[in-house]
Amino acid sequence: MRWHDSNIDVGDGTRLRPWRIDDLDALVRHADDERISRGTSDRFPFPYTRADGEAFLSGRVVGFDDPVFAIEIDGEACGGIGARPFAGERAVGAELGYWLGQAHWGRGVMTRVVSVFAPWAEQALGVSRLQAGVLDFNLASARVLEKNGFVAEGVLRRAVRKRGCLHDLRLFGRLADTVG
């Protein structure tokens, strides 16, 4: 695996590194949370069981050929971030995704993580564009992106059904050469 040696320091006791099998307990503890599942893809279920954690850690949910890292805070995996490059003529870009255990919300952690991961991913993947889709109600995630040079580019109207309701998906993009 291309990223197995990655160890990205974010400061304040936070680093990004590949997921490990022994993260299972911490992963399930932080991931089993309706408020996280609400803002993410259905690949991130609620309840989040040990079987879900095992499937993820064995690479059966998200491919670990892409940079998909644990956010480790004070030695414990408390969230995740990853970038998945597009293929063919769209290989200039990659899709960003992330989540953080609720115990750590509201302290600027994800803003700092994205500020380090975004330029790292642009360089490591050789992409000039990162994008992220954010559900209409997810103002915290939109804010994290805006503070890191992402611009709201448009809205895919009623593009996502979550918990039986239709939601708009806001598309945010960041161009590497326009970030100062």
Ligand X SMILES: CC(C)(COP(=O)(O)OP(=O)(O)OC[C@H]1O[C@@H](n2cnc3c(N)ncnc32)[C@H](O)[C@@H]1OP(=O)(O)O)[C@@H](O)C(=O)NCCC(=O)NCCS
Is the peptide bond between 47 and the residue preceding it cis, with omega within 30 degrees of 0? yes
d(CA 63, CA 59) in angstroms, rounded, equals 5
Q: By the criterion CB under 6 A, which residues form the site for ligand X?
A: 36, 39-40, 98-100, 105-111, 132, 134, 138-141, 143-144
d(CA 12, CA 40) in angstroms, rounded, equals 26
Nearest distance from C-beta of residue 50 to ligand X, angstroms: 20
Decide whether 1 or 156 has the Cβ nearer to ligand X: 156
Decide whether 108 or 126 has the Cβ nearer to ligand X: 108
Contact 35, 47 (CB under 8 A): no
d(CA 53, CA 27) in angstroms, rounded, equals 7
Nearest distance from C-beta of residue 22 to ligand X, angstroms: 22
Decide whether 1 or 153 has the Cβ nearer to ligand X: 153
Nearest distance from C-beta of residue 28 to ligand X, angstroms: 16
**Nearest residue relative to ligand X (C-beta):** 39
State how beta strands 93-100 and 129-135 pair: parallel
d(CA 87, CA 117) in angstroms, rounded, equals 21
Decide whether 31 or 125 has the Cβ nearer to ligand X: 31
Nearest distance from C-beta of residue 5 to ligand X, angstroms: 26
